[in-house]
Amino acid sequence: MKSETSRRTFRRRAAQLEVKIRFKPAASFTKTGETERLALMGRTRDISETGMALLVSARNIDRYLTQKENGFDVELGLPDGILGLQASPVYFKKAPAGGVATYLIGCRFTDVPEMQRNRLITFLRSLPVR
């Protein structure tokens, strides 16, 4: 087990960026030939080098967030263009917001190509620390 002092931490930065997430289809769907993927638009609440918290409007996506293969593709709208990566939910909470069901999803990045990681780090360094 890592000690608190040996663990590398990344500061969260407050940032409201457009984000599109596309859930990977469940294995049971791909076996039946269905490859349609649920796609949702939302906004980030905060972001770091290793993950982000985002808000999406959706009625009921619990099954997508709790299934074994629960990762999703992310398109993050940075000022210099779209950044693509993969993420996996760590936690989620459903909260009604003005009659519309909204999910707060905390996720960790699982696959970020080196060039995309460099773009993300450059962007994060331009933001104030939260």
> pTM for this structure?
0.79
* Alpha carbon separation from 89 to 23, 79, 103, 113, 115 (Å, rounded): 11, 25, 12, 19, 23
pLDDT at 84: 94
Which residues fall within 8 angstroms of residue 94, CB to CB, at 6 or more apart? 62, 101, 102, 103
The answer to whether residue 98 scores a pLDDT higher than 60 is yes
pLDDT tens digits along 44-83 = 999 999 999 999 988 778 888 887 777 899 999 999 999 9
Phi, psi of 45 (to 5 degrees): -105, -40
pLDDT at 20: 95
Whether 71 contacts 24, CB under 8 Å = yes
